[in-house]
Chain A
Amino acid sequence: MNGLLLSVRRILVILTKELIQLRRDRTTLGMVVMIPLIQLVLFGYAINTNVRDIPVALVDQSNTALSRVLAQAVEATQVVRFTERYAEIPQAQEAISAGRVRAALIIPGDVSERIARSGSVSPRLEPPPATDGPTSRPVAQWLVDGSDTMIAAAIKGLRSMPLAELLRKPANRMTPTFEVALFFNPEQRTAINIVPGLVAIILTMTMVMFTSAAIVRESERGNMEMLINTPVRPIELMLGKIVPYIGIGIVQTAIILTLGHLIFDVPLDGPLGALAATTLAFIGASLALGLVLSTIATSQLQAMQMTVFILLPSILLSGFMFPYEGMPVPAQYLAEVLPVTHFMRTIRAVVLRGAGLHEVAFDTLWLVGFMLVGLVVASLRFKKRLD
């Protein structure tokens, strides 16, 4: 019992020391607040998956009133903007290769005929058979730089745009195959999905970064030789090092979610208990991961490189940028190893969908497990010897 008390006191001593050092390191302290603040505002506004105003070229070989109306109708969708006009197709292709435009719309000379016959205009109860040559010919052609799949998808979305209003006819009655009801983000604003994800990314970055440098810094500054000569135990050192950063993680989470709510109208629907539990578990897991890195790295520079090595897959594989479900199964397994993948799921569930503790229990427990394993590994790897 006395041993445990001494142990707790040693943890508190290290913790106090870390806090004093942190308080005196104004730059780091400033970053604790500025990183989430700036990145939230920046990414909240900047990241948008609803593609608009793509610069495209127009090659109008028909040059009739109808072709001009068609071009206007295309521009009116706001998906594209005609920034260049060419007489010949090769010029348009060159502009695509040079990157001046992302695509080119070729309106053929016989566009009027094509529109008149087009199935999308002539009112029929049944669609024309596929073998019916004249009516199955498209009205015009898009040449698209398909390398960016998101841009390509946006232009592909124009494939079946209705043309009826070109001819001042009432639109056909369209009966969609499915009715779609959008829950949780009916206006389809990207910020709704980005802001909770940003909590996960920023916490990964700052938490792993802080602790990955924590042990190495002591070695680099020469303090380690003194520390390992004292009766302090590795696990006490580890715990004393991570506890102060838990507070920092909570502050950062609060900044992002509050500002996200105020600026971007991101809902805060979930129960606070579930939010706190899953966030704390993730902070702990990230700090433990940083500690493990810290026992591997031999300099602060190496620790920083390892943090970046963790950060990139955290951004790209966790479901923050691209849907997790779209990845091949081996990549999904890889993503599962990263704590951020689990937190990405739970924080979106709690914040956006109002999920309760029992709904995020599995991923939260996984994070707690990760933290415990990380702490044990870091403590075992940390040797109180110089050889």
Chain B
Amino acid sequence: MSEPVIEVRGLTRRFGSLTAVAALDLTVAPRTIYGFLGPNGSGKTTTVRMLTGLLTPSAGEVRVLGLELPRDAERLKRRIGYMTQKFSLYDDLTVVENLRFVGEIYGLGRRAARQRIAALLSTYALEPLRDRRAGQMSGGQRQRLALAAATIHEPPLLFLDEPTSAVDPQSRRDFWERLFDLVDAGATILVSTHYMDEAERCHRLAILKDGHKRADGAPAELMAAMGARVVEVEGSDLRALKPQLAALPEVLSAAQLGSRLRVLIHDRIPDPVAWLRTQTLDPMPTHLALVHPSLEDVFVTSTGDAPA
């Protein structure tokens, strides 16, 4: 395996008495999409800001693209792209003006900038919007513009901080297609999110909670190794059944999904369905079935909490 793009040991950041990120270890391999999954306030944005050199870590070692942070922060800036959580281009400039601004700030020559902007406009379907002001565009359009601007200088490493929080599902799918295109072209992407479906698309994933890393691995590995099994329960009065199930020590969590309860049972119980049948519950469940775990189940078992 080649040299990791991001290597972090013991990364910590404190704001006064609050520890936003605690002793984080990370390794991100090249040409992968690495996800940070966590609820709001779990330290995702703080970590991204430290990795881009915007925040100075309180402790820990950070190497990004072979550069030591925070010492080499300025040199790193030319080689990374950063798409902020909040839209950070100019609302009162048009699509082309925004791209030209960012391109020239990164030192692209006039001709190179023109070619690059033309390519980006077509890749991100912005051609018909080229003279539209950013402030008048929809969430999905602004997000495509932001990604175009973040990649205008073709950075080998891209940071995306909750990139799809203001975007409809269809735009989100298209957006991820573009991300896989970028990885295919050689880029490494670090993306933070609190959407399960998005996290599931990542090559590798770290689950953050209160600044601590609770799990790290490929989504499929995480699901296989989660230490619990999932039983779907059907019954007449699910609202009454749920607290009874949740009170059992072997049950890690019970959450209602439409007309079913999704119950996570610790894997020290060899046959969870049979075990559930032996419990005294009122009303008794009408139907029990063992199902495949989802990433949400991984999230719940690793954080001990419902996702945000």
B18 to chain A, nearest CB (A): 13
Q: Name the CB-closest residue of A to B90.
A: A223
A17 to B93, CA, bound (A): 8
Q: Is the interface of A mostly helix, strand, loop or mixed?
A: helix
CB < 8 Å neighbour of B101 from A13, A24, A222: A13
Contact: A9 with B104, CB < 8 Å? yes
Contacts of B55 in A (CB 8 A): 385-387
Partner-contacting stretch, out of B3-11, B76-84, B117-125, B232-240:
B76-84
Taking the complex as formed, is B26 at the interface, i.e. its CB lies under 8 A from any CB of chain A?
no
Contact: B52 with A231, CB < 8 Å? no
Taking the complex as formed, is A230 at the interface, i.e. its CB lies under 8 A from any CB of chain B?
yes
A46 to B90, CA, bound (A): 43
| Contact status of A385 and B107, CB under 8 A, knowing A222-B88, A223-B88 | no
A227 to B73, CA, bound (A): 14
CB < 8 Å neighbour of A229 from B82, B92, B97, B100: B82
Contacts of A9 in B (CB 8 A): 104, 107
| Contact status of A231 and B84, CB under 8 A, knowing A17-B90, A17-B101 | no
CB < 8 Å neighbour of A226 from B49, B73, B82, B92: B82
Taking the complex as formed, is B277 at the interface, i.e. its CB lies under 8 A from any CB of chain A?
no
Taking the complex as formed, is A228 at the interface, i.e. its CB lies under 8 A from any CB of chain B?
yes
CB < 8 Å neighbour of B106 from A20, A225, A230, A385: A230
Taking the complex as formed, is A308 at the interface, i.e. its CB lies under 8 A from any CB of chain B?
no
A25 to B86, CA, bound (A): 23
Contact: B90 with A387, CB < 8 Å? no
A223 to B84, CA, bound (A): 10
A385 to B89, CA, bound (A): 18
Contact: A223 with B89, CB < 8 Å? yes
Taking the complex as formed, is A51 at the interface, i.e. its CB lies under 8 A from any CB of chain B?
no
Give 1 or 0 for each of B28-65: 1 = CB within 8 Å of chain A CB.
00000000000000000000010011111000000000
Contacts of A277 in B (CB 8 A): none
A14 to B56, CA, bound (A): 27
Q: Is the interface of B mostly helix, strand, loop or mixed?
A: loop
Contact: B88 with A225, CB < 8 Å? yes
A24 to B73, CA, bound (A): 35
A385 to B73, CA, bound (A): 10
Contacts of A221 in B (CB 8 A): 90-91
Size band of the interface chain B makes with A = 20 to 34
CB < 8 Å neighbour of A20 from B87, B91, B93, B105: B93
Contact: B105 with A10, CB < 8 Å? yes
Give 1 or 0 for each of A263-306: 1 = CB within 8 Å of chain B CB.
00000000000000000000000000000000000000000000
* Most chain A C-beta atoms within 10 Å of own C-beta, residue among B55, B82, B104: B104
Contacts of A166 in B (CB 8 A): none
Q: Name the CB-closest residue of B to A5.
A: B107
| Contact status of A386 and B92, CB under 8 A, knowing A10-B105, A231-B77 | no
Taking the complex as formed, is B74 at the interface, i.e. its CB lies under 8 A from any CB of chain A?
yes
CB < 8 Å neighbour of B77 from A14, A224, A230: A230
Contacts of A384 in B (CB 8 A): 54, 73-74
Taking the complex as formed, is A21 at the interface, i.e. its CB lies under 8 A from any CB of chain B?
yes
Taking the complex as formed, is B102 at the interface, i.e. its CB lies under 8 A from any CB of chain A?
yes
Give 1 or 0 for each of A229-240: 1 = CB within 8 Å of chain B CB.
111100000000
Taking the complex as formed, is A6 at the interface, i.e. its CB lies under 8 A from any CB of chain B?
yes
Contacts of A20 in B (CB 8 A): 92-93, 97
B44 to chain A, nearest CB (A): 15
Contacts of A387 in B (CB 8 A): 55-56
CB < 8 Å neighbour of B54 from A14, A21, A25, A229: A229
CB < 8 Å neighbour of A24 from B78, B92, B106: B92
Contacts of A17 in B (CB 8 A): 90, 93, 97, 101
A177 to B54, CA, bound (A): 74
A96 to chain B, nearest CB (A): 57
Contact: A230 with B86, CB < 8 Å? no
A18 to chain B, nearest CB (A): 10
Contacts of A6 in B (CB 8 A): 107
What are 9 pairs between A and B in contact, CB < 8 Å? Answer: A13-B101, A13-B105, A222-B84, A225-B54, A225-B84, A225-B86, A226-B149, A229-B80, A384-B74
Told that A10-B104, A226-B84, A231-B107 touch, could you supply 13 new A-B pairs with CB distance under 8 A? A9-B104, A17-B97, A17-B101, A20-B97, A21-B92, A25-B92, A222-B88, A225-B54, A226-B82, A226-B89, A226-B102, A228-B54, A230-B102
**Interface set of A (CB-CB < 8 Å, partner B):** 6, 9-10, 13-14, 16-17, 20-21, 24-25, 221-232, 384-387
